[in-house]
Amino acid sequence: MSNVPRMMSSGSEPDARGVNVDEKKRKRMISNRESARRSRMKKQKLLEDLVTEVASLKVQIHNNTNKYEALMQKIVVLESENNALKVQQMELAQYLKNLQLMQTQMELLEFNLMNQPGRTLCDIIVDINEPPKVQSWQCHGSNQPAIMASTEMLNY
């Protein structure tokens, strides 16, 4: 604090140590203040960086939310198209089965024509399209005979 010359007398030695201790305290106090100032500046910089990062993340969230909503709309459209294609695939599969059945029937007709001389394709088609002849003993065209039950059997 003050620049007091040192004296070598026995009474001045405690004063020199006191001045030396005061100087150390002052230097330590200055050093602590500088350290605290650097710490505050470091915290302030960290806070500013975090605020910037939060703002950036909010922008990313907004952009990702928009992308998510657009993708969800595309998913709905694609699922709808997929369902329509599944229905169409089932219809086409049934149509193919019908065509294969018709081809089998035509092959059978062709085979029958070859094995029945004197009959024409028209004769066979007429036979196919005519309803079966029902005999009086048959039930509704079935090949099984009708079973008659007496009223005594029904009153068991």
Q: What is the pTM of this model?
A: 0.44
Mean pLDDT across 123-149: 59
Name residue, tokens 């302030």: 44
Closest C-alpha among 115, 113, 143 to residue 127 = 113
Report the C-alpha gap between 156 and 152 in whole angstroms: 7
Cβ pair 117, 105 in contact under 8 A: no
Q: Give pLDDT tens digits for 80-126.
A: 999 999 999 999 999 999 999 999 988 887 887 777 777 776 776 67
Report the C-alpha gap between 55 and 46 in whole angstroms: 14
135: DSSP letter: P
45 or 10, higher pLDDT: 45
Q: Give pLDDT tens digits for 46-85.
A: 999 999 999 999 999 999 999 999 999 999 999 999 999 9
Which pLDDT band, with edges at 50, 70 and 90, does 138 fall under? low
